[in-house]
Structures are given as C-alpha cells and as structure tokens.
Amino acid sequence: MHFSQEFLALAVRKGVLRFGEFKTKAGRLSPYFFNSALFDDGESFAKLCAYYAQAIRHTGIAVDTLFGPAYKGIPLVAGTAMQLAAQGTNLPFCFNRKEAKDHGEGGILVGAPLKGRVLVLDDVISAGTSVRESVEIIRASGAELAGVVIALDRMEHGTGEKSAVQEVRDTFGVPVIAVATLEDLMRFLADSPQLADSLVAVRRYRETYGVN
C-alpha cells in the first residue's frame, strides 16, 4: 500500500477525515471534511510526521532547512525533522513567532538559522496566505523557497480556474508536495466498499469544482 493510502486510512480512523455534507469557507457543500488538528495524540501525530518525511524523501527534493509557519507548522516541522532523522536524513529546522520577541534573543524566528533551500511544512493550502508570509520571512533571511509540503491537496479551484496549490506553484515556481491528493482519496474510497456512497459524492464534487 502506498503511504498516501495508509495516511488516509489513519485520517479516517482518527476522525480527521469525515464524510457527509460540510459547508466550506467558500460556501460550497463538500462531501468530505479534513481537520488535521485531530491528529491530537502522540501515536497518530508521530505517524502523520512520518508520512510527511516519506513524502519529502519520495520526491528527492534538495533541501537545506525545514520551516514551519506558526501555528500549525510548528509541531509539524519539529515532528517531521525527528522522523527524517530517524530515516537517515538530519536537517535543521526553524519556525516563526506570530509576534516578535523584544527581550532575550529577540526576533520572530526560533530554531536553526534560515539558510539555503528552505522547505515549508503546513497542513493545507487554502488561500496561500501562510505560504506568502513564509516566503517573505525566508527571503528576508537571504534564503530561498525550495517547496511546500502539505497533508492534503483538495485539487479544487478557488475564485479563478486554478487551485490554491496551483497558484502557489505558479507564483513561486516551486513544487507543492502533498502526502495525499483528492485523486488518492478517490482511489482510497474505491477500495473501501463501505464508503461507496461517499465515492459517488466526491466524484460529483470533483467534476464541479476540480482542477486538472
């Protein structure tokens, strides 16, 4: 089983990925809901970070530093750095504060210096705002964006014809690596007889809002 399928099975078991009818921020009725905050215990979160590590290693992307934007990126970048080290790739990591610290070491960055090719780790890309903020921080440190890693690529268009992931790819000219995509999710549903009804609904949603 490919790691994306294992990841989706874990997400369903933890209630991170649910099926039904859910209203999105854009006002769409989505047949599924994904909330990565529900990877909320040591075992499931360690597995989540191991999948991030596998996705990074699978692409073979050249990276010097890992960066986690506050707040969800903070535990992700620390956990993934630990999993990568356990898999034989030891990388420095860094994250930002929402507010600059005016005492002690000061500044907005915590951890290793932002150097070289920086890989940003976040849970999803909904509007790309977090990525743009991260790029500003990375460039201000004299480093460059190498790519972005997320848990799930919903592969649906935003206000225009492109998805938020495609917009990030095109704007910054870097890969966006997803542990799982909507296509992976449809394969997962096709292999789960008890979720057959959800596959029909997700397929219909993809036809309406999906991007190629």
Amino acid at 73: G
Between 42-59 and 3-13, two packed helices, what is the crossing angle to 10 degrees?
A: 160
Separation in Å, CA 23 to CA 19, 31, 86: 12, 9, 39
Distance CA 152, CA 137 (A): 24
| Strand duo 93-101 + 107-111: pairing | antiparallel
Q: Which residues contact 9 (CB under 8 A, 6 or more apart)?
A: 188
Peptide bond into 205 cis (omega under 30): no
Instruction: Write out the catalytic residue numbers.
Output: 101, 103
